[in-house]
């Protein structure tokens, strides 16, 4: 899926959320991976033990990507924009007749 409005911060956050959700679901819930005694015992015998980790991680990853992309500026580093006139990317006018040396 390609989205023109997606930002680098959104993509990174989505990948991290998806990878983390997949790892936690695979290790703690999904029956084949969590068959050993331990933290995954609570899901044994429930419908949740049969849900594939990708079915949980993919929607979460997409949701986080959209949310972070909407909260950050496209084309930027994801940081809040600088106030106008305070180093917000204007060209330097030093030495170009501005009166500053």
The candidate with the shortest Cα–Cα distance to 78, out of 86, 90, 67, 63, is: 67
The candidate with the shortest Cα–Cα distance to 56, out of 43, 39, 68, is: 43
Q: What is the mean pLDDT of each run of 10 residues along the chain (101 residues)?
A: 82 96 87 62 73 94 94 67 55 51 48
Is the CB of residue 22 less than 8 Å from the CB of residue 73? Answer: no
- Residue 91 CA to residue 71 CA, distance in Å, equals 27
* pTM for the structure as a whole: 0.63
């Amino acid at each position: 899926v390609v989205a023109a409005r997606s930002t680098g911060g959104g993509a990174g956050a989505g990948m991290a959320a998806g990878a983390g959700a997949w790892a936690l679901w695979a290790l703690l819930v999904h029956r084949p991976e969590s068959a050993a005694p331990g933290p995954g015992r609570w899901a044994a015998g429930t419908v949740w033990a049969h849900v594939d980790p990708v079915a949980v991680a993919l929607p979460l990853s997409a949701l986080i990507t959209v949310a972070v992309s909407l909260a950050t500026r496209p084309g930027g580093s994801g940081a809040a924009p600088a106030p106008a006139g305070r180093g917000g990317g204007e060209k330097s006018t030093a030495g170009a007749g501005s009166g500053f040396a």
